[in-house]
Amino acid sequence: MMPTVYELDALQELVNIGVGRAASILNEMVGSHVHLQIPYTKLISSAEVQQDLEQQLGIAPISAVRLGFNGSFAGVAQLVFPTDSASKLVAVLTREEFDLYDLDAVKIGTLSEVGNIVINGVMGSISNVLQQHLNYSLPIYLEDTVGNLLTSHDFEIASAAVLIAKARFTIEQLLIAGDIILIFKLGALDTLLTALNLGLEESA
């Protein structure tokens, strides 16, 4: 089932609600204004996803936080950053001097926390508004190429549906780009769209 333009707009609104909640939590965490935007959301085929992401993020290893979900629908959510954006985000959020020896641990811890906040905000918004129950795995931090990140989970990407939401963090005038990638297992997107349409009918 391919979503209509109306359904995609409704999905983007759910993602926007989620990142709005995430931005509020990050504001409190860092003590300065964090503005999170989702300029667009699009659904692409599994055959196109690697090329699409490599055009945006490059072929070099990138930083990613992954969180699996299952329940009413199942899949994997990832927040991914080009390396330079990941480093800028860590520098702004930590505001601390730390030894080079501790750099990797600080980076992993900081990005894992941000990824957990943003992904839970988005998935929580979807599940709460559509009244669907989801369970989540613990967030995992990864550094790898787009191709490897897309295939290093427990189901076949070729049979999945991929929703990409372009994410923009603005912190202290720094524009930090990333992507929220929702990969739905076979049939999961149909379940999501059915719940979405029921919600739209009830609110009409």
Which tokens go with 96?
């601390």
| Domain extent for 23 | 5-203
Closest CA to 178 of 32, 62, 30: 62
How far CA 201 is from CA of 12, 121, 195, in Å, comes to 17, 24, 10
Element (H, E) at 183: strand 174-184
Cα-trace Rg, the chain: 17
Per-residue model confidence as pLDDT tens for the chain (204 residues): 577 888 888 888 899 899 988 888 888 877 777 888 888 888 888 778 888 888 888 888 889 999 999 988 889 999 998 888 888 888 777 766 544 445 578 888 888 998 999 999 999 999 998 888 899 998 899 989 988 888 877 667 777 888 888 888 887 777 788 889 998 887 888 888 888 888 767 665
CATH assignment of the domain containing 104? 3.40.1550.10
Please state the domain count of the chain: 1
Q: Is 4 helix (H, G, I), strand (E, B) or coil?
A: coil
Q: Where are the beta strands (DSSP E) in 33-124?
A: 34-37, 41-44, 62-71, 75-81
How far CA 115 is from CA of 83, 120, 123, 159, in Å, comes to 15, 8, 12, 25
**CB count in 10 Å sphere of residue 87:** 16
